[in-house]
């Protein structure tokens, strides 16, 4: 009986030790990335960490604050422009991610057509995917080059598809990859029909979204102009010391804080009213 109790006690200690010392499972390692990391991946900047991006935002904010403090001699004004400068890197990354997603959406139908042509010519699905690294649309080639290299080295089609999804970091790409994975696992002679239907669906979706975005553009541009105009005027006022010094008082600081809050709320409200449904990586 004592030996059994000792064995159970030792087993418990071993389990506790393994929880802290042994490597974590693959499932825990593959946690969903934070929002900044996902944003950088969508922008094609996987080599940049979220810490580097935050550091750049802080550095730009501090530099802008110091420059505006020297220029205007008014701390509330310097703080406002420091906050604006700190947000610029995030704006650039978001713009790059949106531009990259639009470019991918425009070329995915062509890429699927290449796959369908390769399958009709008698190529296997992995061979057709590898062929996109040289014959596919230019924006997609780097991701398919990584897929081709990984598949040639490992020979594991499923793992190579996961790498392709990570390289693309694109919601449309996720749907295409998962459709190809299902077609590969299920098999059968309907792969060509699936690819043709997928290409037709992607073209219809692209056409509809392009029309909606062209109608939405005036709302977005109007919101940006309305928000930027007062701060451009404030920047010009920094060259008139007798006017800008009025913002040194508590009342002036309150006016700036209230104006900044109203601009943020109004911009977010206008963007929310005019925005289109955004594709999210639910299959990542």
68-85 pLDDT per residue, tens:
999 888 888 999 999 999
Kindly tell me the burial class for residue 138, based on how many C-beta atoms sit within 10 Å of its own C-beta (0-12, 13-18, 19 or more): exposed
DSSP reduced 3-state for 5? helix
The C-alpha angle with vertex 62 and arms to 230 and 83, in degrees rounded to 5, equals: 30
In angstroms, the CA 76 to CA 249 distance is: 9
* Confidence band, pLDDT 50/70/90 cuts, at residue 4: very low
Is the per-residue pLDDT at 6 higher than 70?
no
What is the predicted pLDDT for the residue at 147?
92
Question: Among 51-60, 65-74, 152-161, 219-228, which is the least confidently predicted range?
Answer: 219-228
Greater confidence, 28 or 41?
41
* Confidence band, pLDDT 50/70/90 cuts, at residue 26: very low
pTM confidence score: 0.76
* Confidence band, pLDDT 50/70/90 cuts, at residue 25: very low
What is the predicted pLDDT for the residue at 284?
61
Please give the backbone phi and psi of residue 121, each rounded to the nearest 5 degrees, phi first. -80, 0
Instruction: State the chain's mean pLDDT as an integer.
Output: 82
* Confidence band, pLDDT 50/70/90 cuts, at residue 90: very high
Tokens of 48: 């940049």
Is the per-residue pLDDT at 104 higher than 80?
yes
Q: What percent of the chain has a predicted confidence (pLDDT) above 70?
A: 84
What is the predicted pLDDT for the residue at 277?
67
Can you tell me the mean pLDDT for 217-237? 85
Greater confidence, 25 or 87?
87
Chain-centre distance of CA 113, in angstroms?
A: 26
Please give the backbone phi and psi of residue 169, each rounded to the nearest 5 degrees, phi first. 50, 50
């Amino acid at each position: 009986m004592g030996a059994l109790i000792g064995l159970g006690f030792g087993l418990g200690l071993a389990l506790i030790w393994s929880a802290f010392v042994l490597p974590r499972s693959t499932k825990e390692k593959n946690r969903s990335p934070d929002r900044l990391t996902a944003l950088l991946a969508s922008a094609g900047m996987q080599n940049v960490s979220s810490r580097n991006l935050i550091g750049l935002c802080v550095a730009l904010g501090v530099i802008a604050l110091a420059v505006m403090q020297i220029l205007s001699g008014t701390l509330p004004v310097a703080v406002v422009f420091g906050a604006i400068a700190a947000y610029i890197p995030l704006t650039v990354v978001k713009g790059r991610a949106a531009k990259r997603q639009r470019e991918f959406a425009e070329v995915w139908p062509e890429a699927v057509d290449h796959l369908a042509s390769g399958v009709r010519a008698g190529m296997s699905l992995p061979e057709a995917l590898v062929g996109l690294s040289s014959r596919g649309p230019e924006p997609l080639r780097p991701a398919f080059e990584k897929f081709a290299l990984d598949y040639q080295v490992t020979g594991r089609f499923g793992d190579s598809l996961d790498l392709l999804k990570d390289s693309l970091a694109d919601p449309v790409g996720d749907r295409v990859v998962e459709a190809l994975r299902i077609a590969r696992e299920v098999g059968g002679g309907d792969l060509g029909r699936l690819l043709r239907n997928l290409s037709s669906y992607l073209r219809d979706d692209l056409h509809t979204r392009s029309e909606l975005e062209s109608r939405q553009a005036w709302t977005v541009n109007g919101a940006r102009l309305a928000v930027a105009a007062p701060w451009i005027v404030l920047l010009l006022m920094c060259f008139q010391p007798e006017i800008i010094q009025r913002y040194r008082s508590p009342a002036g600081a309150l006016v700036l804080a209230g104006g900044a809050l109203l601009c943020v709320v109004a911009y977010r409200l206008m963007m929310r009213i005019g925005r289109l449904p955004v594709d999210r990586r639910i299959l990542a």
